[in-house]
Amino acid sequence: MDRDANPAQQAPAGNGPAQVKISNLNKTFHRGKEAVHVLRDISLEIAQGELLVLLGPSGCGKTTLLRCLVGLEKPGQGRVELGDTTVVDADARVFVQPNKRDVAMVFQNYALWPHMKVAANVAYPLKARKMKDELKNGRVHEVLQVVQCDHLADRYPPELSGGQQQRISLARALAPRPALLLLDEPLSNLDALLRIELRAQLRLLHRELGFTGVYVTHDQEEALALGTRVAVMKEGQFEQIGPPAEVYSFPATEYVADFLGARNRLELHTEGDGRATVAGVPLEGFVRPGLGGRFALRLRDADPVLRVAGTPGDEDRHWITGAELIEVLPAGDHAEHVVRLGDQTLFVDVPATRGVFEPGAKVDIGLATDSVLCYDADGRLVRDWAAI
Ligand SMILES: Nc1ncnc2c1ncn2[C@@H]1O[C@H](COP(=O)(O)OP(=O)(O)OP(=O)(O)O)[C@@H](O)[C@H]1O
């Protein structure tokens, strides 16, 4: 598939030259008679200094793509170029072994050698590259400082916390200054607070060092916080690639919208003359005339508002009547309200400052068109669907 054929295959966002060029990559695993086509004709360029985040559900092929880049998997078809070097060319039977690629990888489970001190762990890839002792020791000290673990140089990994071990593992990967750094869910073994702290440190490190990286996660917050671009994967292909703000604000497909938190779905029917019903409720002045057919509306939990049925509410909103509040789950600064509308269940976050509605209450749901996403029957984003 060439790049023009699929809007998800885009040129890199950075200004630098392409550091990584992946062309028509395919990977199939064979288990007995069963063949699983895990990467489906993937093409992508990553610019120098970019941190591309691969985001997608379990099993969509994120780790397999990383493993193809580092050389732990051999793709059946396609090419991978790192800088000026072709490391994979299936047609020409080119396959450069992992230790000959200028690529480092950080794993979810740290993968440090428990019998080696921290400094020796970090020095290991430098030793493998036959770096002189003096240079090597300087570099080890430098990267340990970068990850704020200089004081741990003489400890053994089992004597460290998870967060410290992951910092060391990052230092080891950064030490040889690889052309490409791969990070496979590096924070997912850590508790929530530490994840947020390390995420911030990683972002700072990326800004300071400007390394080129590919970061795998299935956590949308992590993806949006870290990525210079985010690539959302579905079944071995890219569904959308773009800067985080764009992917978040304009998810190209319903699949991406769902994955990025717009989990509430309402059906919209329009007549083409401006008349419309949402979940069977007529709404005036909601869609623009000229838009006709069946659509799906997608909303994030924080977007709709609730009012007790029939009471006054924000007049700028469009109100859907006939809903019932099923359950309320307090969550500190807001409460998650579970609302039933016909056969649909919606989740609405109500700020604690607006009070709590009582379960069993009849409620109306207020929509603001600028926060509602609209998708056509093929699941593609429709822009400019709302009445002005
Ligand atoms: N060595 C293998 N042999 C057979 N199937 C494999 C092998 N490695 C991966 N798979 C299959 O390939 C698919 C993609 O796996 P992969 O690990 O790339 O997914 P992922 O998106 O990284 O998922 P997760 O987020 O759970 O790690 C899965 O269906 C998996 O079972």
ipTM of the complex: 0.96
Residue 189 Cα to ligand 1 midpoint, Å, equals: 18
Integer Cα distance of 292 and 385 in angstroms: 10
Which residues in 71-98 are b (16+ Cβ under 10 Å) and which e?
bebebebbbbbbbeeebbbbeeeeebee
388 within some domain = no
Q: Does residue 29 have its Cβ closer than 6 Å to ligand 1?
A: yes
CATH number at residue 327: 2.40.50.100
Residue 215 placed within a domain: yes
Ligand 1 within 6 A of 64 CB? yes
Q: Is 181 found in the same domain as 46?
A: yes
Residue at 203 is within a domain: yes
d(CA 380, CA 293): 14
Cβ(31) to ligand 1 under 6 A?
yes
- Going by C-alpha positions, the residue among 383, 42, 75 that lies closest to residue 234 is 42
Domain for residue 381, yes or no?
no
Residues 233 and 290 reside in one and the same domain: no
Domain coverage including residue 307 = 262-375
Q: Let me know whether 302 and 224 are in one domain.
A: no
Residues 145 and 59 in one domain: yes
**Same domain membership, residue 212 and residue 289:** no
The reply to whether 15 falls in a domain is yes
Distance 60 CA to ligand 1 centre (A): 7
CB 227 within 8 A of CB 215: yes
Measured in angstroms, how far is the CA atom of residue 62 from the centroid of ligand 1?
Answer: 8
Q: Atom 5 in ligand 1: which residue has the minimum CA distance?
A: 29
- In short, whether 218's Cβ falls inside 6 Å of ligand 1 is yes
Same domain for 307 and 199, yes or no, is no
Nearest atom (ligand 1) to Cα of 60: 21
**Helix, strand, or coil here: 164?**
helix
**C-beta of 261 in contact with ligand 1 (< 6 A):** no
pLDDT at 2: 38
Q: Is the CB–ligand 1 distance for residue 27 below 6 Å?
A: no
Chain segment 222-249, per-residue pLDDT in tens? 999 999 999 999 999 999 999 999 999 9
Digit-coded pLDDT (tens) for 167-195: 999 999 999 889 999 999 989 888 888 88
Strand pairing class (51-55; 264-271): unpaired
Residue 282 counted as domain residue: yes
Q: Which of 254, 283, 314 is the last residue of a domain?
A: 254
- The DSSP element (H or E) to which 136 belongs, if any, is helix 133-146
Verify that 57 and 169 share a domain, yes or no: yes
Ligand 1 pocket residue status of 172, Cβ below 6 Å: no
Are residue 102 and residue 222 in the same domain, yes or no? yes
CA–CA gap between residue 232 and residue 220 (Å, rounded): 10
Task: Give CA–CA dist 94/116, Å, rounded.
Answer: 35
Query: Is the shortest distance between the CB of 35 and ligand 1 below 6 Å?
Result: no
Closest-CA residue, ligand 1 atom 7, reads 29
**Sheet architecture: strand order including 180-184:** 103-106, 180-184, 213-217, 51-55, 229-234, 237-242
Give the residue from 20, 71, 87 showing the smallest Cα distance to 48.
20
Cα 179 from Cα 102, distance rounded (Å):
5
DSSP 211-273: --EEEEES-HHHHHHH-SEEEEEETTEEEEEE-HHHHHHS-SBHHHHHHTT--EEEEEEEESS
> Which of 254, 273, 303 delimits the end of a domain?
254
Task: To the nearest 10°, report the CA torsion of 187, 188, 192, 197.
Answer: 0
Domain-located, residue 287:
yes
357 with 266, same domain: the answer is yes
- Domain assignment present for 195: yes
Whether residue 192 sits in one domain with residue 49: yes
Residues 172 and 243 in one domain: yes
C-beta 61 within 6 A of ligand 1: yes
Q: Which residues contact 219 (CB under 8 A, 6 or more apart)?
A: 55, 188
**Confidence at residue 192, expressed as pLDDT on a 0 to 100 scale:** 87
- Number of structural domains the chain divides into: 2
Select from 42, 53, 62 the residue to mutate for testing ligand 1; criterion: most ligand atoms less than 8 Å from CB: 62
Last residue of a domain, one of 203, 235, 254: 254
Predicted local confidence at residue 16, as pLDDT? 53
Looking at the structure, do residues 289 and 224 belong to the same domain, yes or no?
A: no
Cα distance between residue 24 and residue 344, in whole Å? 40
**pLDDT (0 to 100) of residue 345:** 94
What CATH number does the domain containing 119 carry? 3.40.50.300
Residue 56 CB less than 6 A away from ligand 1: yes
> Is the distance from CB of 199 to CB of 225 less than 8 angstroms?
yes
42 ligand 1 Cβ < 6 A: no
From first to last of its 388 residues, the chain has per-residue pLDDT tens of 333 334 344 444 444 566 999 999 999 999 889 999 999 999 999 999 999 999 999 999 999 999 999 999 999 999 999 999 999 999 999 999 998 999 999 998 888 999 999 999 999 999 888 888 888 889 999 999 888 899 999 999 999 999 899 999 999 999 988 999 999 998 988 888 888 988 998 899 898 888 999 999 999 999 999 999 999 999 999 999 999 999 999 999 999 999 999 999 999 999 999 999 998 899 999 999 999 999 999 999 999 999 999 898 888 899 999 999 999 999 999 999 999 998 889 999 999 887 778 899 999 999 999 999 999 999 999 999 999 7
